[in-house]
Amino acid sequence: MYKSIDLKENPRDLEARVRAYWDKHDMAQKSIDFREGKPQFVFYEGPPTANGKPGIHHVMARTLKDVVCRYKTMNGFQVKRKAGWDTHGLPVEIEVEKILGLEDKKGIEEYAWKSFAPAAVIPCSLTKSSGAK
pLDDT tens track for 102-125:
888 888 888 888 887 777 666 555
pLDDT tens track for 63-101:
888 899 999 999 999 998 876 665 566 677 788 888 989
Q: Say what the pLDDT of residue 78 is.
A: 96
Quick one: what percent of the chain has pLDDT higher than 90?
A: 35
How many angstroms separate the Cα of 115 from the Cα of each of 30, 31, 94, 106?
Answer: 45, 45, 19, 14
* Domains of the chain by residue range: 11-86
Residue 39 has pLDDT above 80, yes or no: yes
Q: Say what the pLDDT of residue 118 is.
A: 73
